């Protein structure tokens, strides 16, 4: 297994400034049996010419799209060009340490019933304390930090594996009948895939011995705010609308309402958040109910475990913060989960 071929799939959209550091760090790996598939999402910053002029190695393949397919579509299409037994998704605004791939694959090889294994992704601007334990998501699809322990070997179970760097068997995608929905474009696709692997009975893991240095928002920072907000809000909520039962969704509906008014307030107070994008996200969900129903029906065929076993990995907290208001809202949310029997992570600790 340790001689298995690994396909490193990296998307690029106007990320020329990141490419040299990222690709050069990949080529210095201690694990040598790999290929790099660079899928360019119709860049206009001379990224394609830069790659062609500087990287002619046999194990580097450039695929150029005629349009920008986003993170979801780009990875779906790029995956078709991967010949490895294993696939690693890696952001282009990263650099990796020399033993990154070896340690990542080693963790996968030793894991019990693995679906996805993620590296330790050190993102600029994220406080160090948030890397001391593994995080999860809450019922709004946001990250909640410091929930799951990391063992002395650097490995720990997780729910959400980050799309910035994850490894999985290529066959897993076939088993689940697809990687990401093309409709997502970008944001929360990694949550979608992580939830699907857990619903299929696999375990997701983190290893802190495989280290990635991540700038963050290398491509999405250039996208207009309304579209970013639209994708963020729609996709985070779609993951619950698509993957959980009708009985859960009745209990979940107050979170949909709370999320709307919470984000409405944020939009009124912050120029970095788009009210237009928020309204469009909810409008999209209401106008695509038939698509949601059909997608739910299709995805239900690939579930093998009870949703309560997934919910126990999801936090009932709304906020990471520790001020009085956030603590109160977190406590109320967990109380509501107990009241209606949404069996979130905090209720397993009681």
pLDDT attached to residue 11? 98
DSSP assigned state of 131: G
Closest among 162, 26, 33 to 97, alpha carbons compared:
26
Q: What are phi and psi of 89, to 5 degrees?
A: -90, 130
Rounded Cα–Cα distance for residues 104 and 81 (Å): 22
Handedness of CA 319, 146, 180, 301 (dihedral sign): negative
- Residue 329 tokens read as 């809202």
pLDDT attached to residue 219? 57
- Residue 51 tokens read as 């790659």
- Where are the extended beta strands (E) located within 165-224? 165-169, 203-214
- Residue 129 tokens read as 């304390």
The pLDDT tens digits along the chain (350 residues) read 668 999 999 999 999 999 999 999 999 999 999 999 999 999 999 999 999 999 999 999 999 999 999 999 999 999 999 999 999 999 999 999 999 999 999 999 999 999 999 999 999 999 888 899 999 999 999 999 999 999 999 999 999 999 999 999 999 999 999 999 999 999 999 999 999 999 999 999 999 999 999 998 655 555 689 999 999 999 999 999 999 999 999 999 999 999 999 999 999 998 889 999 999 999 999 999 999 999 999 999 999 999 999 999 999 999 998 899 999 999 999 999 999 999 999 999 75
Torsion, Cα 278 283 286 291, to 10 degrees, reads -90
Domains, the chain, in order of start with CATH, read 6-218 (3.90.550.10)
Query: Kind and range of the H or E element at 253?
Result: helix 246-269
Q: What are phi and psi of 245, to 5 degrees?
A: -70, 165
């Amino acid at each position: 297994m340790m001689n298995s071929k690994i396909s490193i799939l990296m998307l690029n959209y106007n990320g020329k400034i990141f490419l040299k550091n990222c690709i050069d760090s990949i080529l210095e790996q201690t694990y040598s049996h790999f290929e790099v598939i660079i899928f360019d999402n119709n860049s206009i910053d001379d990224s394609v010419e830069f790659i062609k002029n500087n990287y002619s190695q046999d194990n580097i393949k450039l695929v150029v799209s005629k349009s920008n397919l986003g993170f979801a579509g780009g990875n779906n299409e790029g995956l078709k060009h991967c010949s490895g037994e294993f696939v690693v998704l890696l952001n282009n605004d990263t650099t990796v340490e020399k033993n990154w791939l070896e340690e990542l694959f080693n963790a996968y090889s030793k894991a019990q019933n693995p679906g996805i294994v993620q590296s330790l992704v050190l993102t600029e601007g994220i406080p160090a304390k948030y890397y001391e334990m593994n995080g999860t998501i809450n019922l709004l699809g946001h990250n909640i930090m410091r929930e799951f322990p990391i063992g002395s070997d650097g490995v720990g179970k997780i729910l959400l594996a980050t799309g910035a760097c994850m490894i999985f068997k290529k066959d897993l995608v076939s088993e689940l009948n697809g990687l990401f929905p093309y409709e997502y474009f970008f944001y929360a696709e990694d949550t979608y895939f992580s939830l699907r692997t857990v619903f299929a009975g696999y375990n997701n893991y983190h290893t802190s011995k495989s280290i990635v240095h991540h700038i963050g928002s290398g491509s999405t920072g250039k996208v207009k705010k309304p579209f970013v907000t639209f994708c963020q809000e729609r996709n985070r909520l779609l993951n619950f609308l698509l993957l959980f039962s009708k009985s859960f969704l009745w209990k979940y509906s107050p979170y949909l309402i709370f999320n709307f008014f919470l984000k409405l307030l944020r939009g009124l107070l912050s120029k970095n958040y788009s009210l237009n994008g928020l309204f469009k996200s909810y409008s999209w969900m209401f106008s695509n109910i038939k698509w949601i129903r059909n997608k739910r029906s299709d995805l239900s065929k690939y579930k093998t475990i009870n949703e309560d076993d997934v919910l126990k990995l999801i936090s009932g907290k709304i906020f990471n913060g520790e001020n009085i208001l956030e603590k109160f809202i977190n406590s109320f949310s967990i109380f509501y989960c107990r009241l209606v029997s949404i069996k979130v992570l905090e209720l397993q600790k009681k």
